[in-house]
């Protein structure tokens, strides 16, 4: 049986180990901030009662989400963001769990 890698990651770009914030620290800080902002803008869009306000927040949300993705891709490219592959059994269990949740919805989605 072929063994799956423990991490999906590019070779890490070397960074200096000093007490000061380095490029990786700055990018990580910015990425966390952009993730927080996209969640906040999402909440604001859900609660906006005025169409023009909703559209303006949606525009800012799109820009913020694009920046978040750009930062993630840069960090992944530099090897500073790693992913852990999931085992097929775990994915199947999650699929079954959420399929069970769908049966609780008042309106059933069409079967595929």
- The CA angle 26-31-36, to the nearest 5 degrees, is 130
Half-sphere exposure of 16 (CA within 13 A, CB side): 7
Would you place residue 2 in the very low, low, confident or very high pLDDT band (cuts 50, 70, 90)? Answer: low
* Whether pLDDT at 1 is above 70: no
Give, to the nearest 10 degrees, the angle between helix 23-47 and helix 51-77: 160
Question: pLDDT tens for residues 98-108?
Answer: 888 877 878 76
Question: pLDDT tens for residues 7-36?
Answer: 888 888 998 888 999 999 999 999 999 999
Place of tokens 């820009």: 63
- The CA angle 82-96-42, to the nearest 5 degrees, is 55
* Structural domain spans, the chain: 23-102
């Amino acid at each position: 049986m072929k063994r799956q890698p423990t991490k999906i990651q590019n070779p890490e770009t070397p960074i200096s180990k000093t007490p000061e914030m380095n490029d990786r620290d700055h990018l990580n800080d910015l990425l966390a901030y952009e993730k927080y902002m996209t969640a906040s803008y999402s909440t604001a869009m859900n609660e906006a009662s005025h169409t023009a306000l909703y559209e303006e927040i949606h525009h800012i949300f799109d820009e913020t989400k694009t920046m978040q993705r750009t930062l993630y891709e840069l960090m992944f490219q530099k090897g500073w963001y790693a992913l852990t592959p999931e085992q097929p059994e775990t994915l199947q269990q999650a699929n079954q769990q959420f399929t069970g949740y769908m049966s609780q919805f008042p309106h059933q989605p069409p079967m595929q």
